[in-house]
Amino acid sequence: MRRTVIIVVLVVVGLAVVGVWSYRSGRDKGQVFHTTPVRRGDLVTTISATGTIEPIASVDIGAQVAGVINAFGKDSRGKPIDWGSVVEAGTVLARIDDSLYAAALETAKAQLQQNEANKISADANVLQMKAKLLQAQADWNRAQKLGPSDALAQSAYDQYQANYEVAKANLAAAIAAVEQAKAAVAQAKANLNTARINLDYCTIKSPVNGVVIDRRVNIGQTVVSSLSAPSLFLIASDLKHIQVWLSVNEADIGSISRGQPVTFTVDAYPGRVFHGHVDQVRLNATMTQNVVTYTVAVDTDNEDGKLLPYQTANAQFQIGSRHGVLMVPNAALSWSPRPNQIVPDSRKRSGHRDHGSDIAGSRGIIWVEQGKFVRPIRVKTGLTDGASTEVEGRGLTEGLRVVIGEGMREAEAAPSTDRNPFTPQIGRGRSQSQSQGAPPSGTER
């Protein structure tokens, strides 16, 4: 029994040794490294954001009187006002039935004429009261000279005095009536002006040059003006110069400043890149599901009229750029070999403390082939655009091929219909999240 156990153990150990030898032998023959050259070029770091195309200035046209829409005006081409109509300041947009307001205007005119006549009558009455006062004053003066006597009875004397006082009071009342008539005339003029303005409000005109973005009424529709004016038309004052309102996360807002260049695309023209610059960072933040965002307004020209209001824009804020720098795919910084793949004299020195680093300004390691092994090159990383990273280090030159992954030859790999002689395992190692930096077609070897 004891001899049997020993034999079994020896067999298992032997099989394990053979398996390890076979694995290493097969791997040495079938394993290959995928490489890509270090290249020199320009690198731009951006922040992504989405938003909408907005007119810089839009005017909501309302109605200040109630009534039925009975006609639309004509645009610059002589066609009835509609969506997309080009209008100028003063262009008639619509007309409201003005029958009631025209009648109110005539009533106000008649009232003004009546009040003006009343004023004339009051002026004449003042003249009459002045004449009566003069007569009463003369009678009173004579009575004072005679005094109560045999020639003038006491009752007559008192009557002359009373007549004089009454005449003075009547004159004062007539003068007051004149002032009252003046006020009535002024009020009638104000009522007439109000009636005229209300009648003018029945003709709705554009206050600006622009384009009708929205028409919200139809002929025959009743407009009811209450505390808030109903909206009839929305006009963009200038679509040759518009804005993009972008929502930027609070984590990125510190990198946004006025005048910063911005590029963006719209779904309507997927192959075209539009350009603009930051006009303002608005302070009214919004919170959605605990995510705080700020609105950034970007100015852009629209001379060809391709950009339309409220299109969705996908924008890139340029926050940093480097020109003519050495760069590698991020996969080169994220890939790290197994210890037995490193050249023997570098195994102790290289370690794995900072493999895969691609944070701007930090240190990292990239690997180059040396026979059937790889050797490390320590680099300092700079800007990254998410796919490639700026690097610099001793021994790093343009065209130097760096490892971005590994794979098996087709003869050693599982059967596949892929005609590629390699079965790639790009980015195999600690981090697969940055494999987006894989080289373009034709850079593997």
pLDDT digits (tens, 9 = 90+) for 51-95: 999 998 889 999 989 999 999 999 888 899 999 899 999 999 999
Q: In the predicted model, is pLDDT for residue 39 greater than 90?
A: yes
Question: Band of the pLDDT at 30, cuts 50, 70, 90?
Answer: low
Q: In the predicted model, is pLDDT for residue 413 greater than 60?
A: no
Q: In the predicted model, is pLDDT for residue 3 greater than 80?
A: no
- Average of pLDDT values for 36-51? 92
Predicted pLDDT of residue 145: 83
Question: Band of the pLDDT at 308, cuts 50, 70, 90?
Answer: very high
Question: Band of the pLDDT at 2, cuts 50, 70, 90?
Answer: low
Question: Band of the pLDDT at 261, cuts 50, 70, 90?
Answer: very high
Predicted pLDDT of residue 361: 56
Q: In the predicted model, is pLDDT for residue 187 greater than 80?
A: yes
Q: In the predicted model, is pLDDT for residue 410 greater than 60?
A: no
Predicted pLDDT of residue 227: 57
- Top CATH class of 47-54+237-320 equals mainly beta
Question: Band of the pLDDT at 155, cuts 50, 70, 90?
Answer: confident
Q: Which of 281, 283, 272 is nearest to 311 (CA)?
A: 272
Predicted pLDDT of residue 20: 47
Domain 32-45+324-437 has CATH 2.60.40.60: no
**With contact defined as beta carbons under 8 Å apart, do 270 and 320 qualify?**
no
Predicted pLDDT of residue 9: 52
Of 68-72, 176-180, 259-263, 360-364, the one with minimum mean pLDDT is: 360-364
Predicted pLDDT of residue 207: 92
pLDDT above 70 coverage of the chain, percent:
80
- Average of pLDDT values for 419-430? 40
Average pLDDT, the chain: 83
Domain 58-94+202-236 has CATH 3.40.50.150: no
Q: Which of 112, 94, 90 is nearest to 195 (CA)?
A: 112
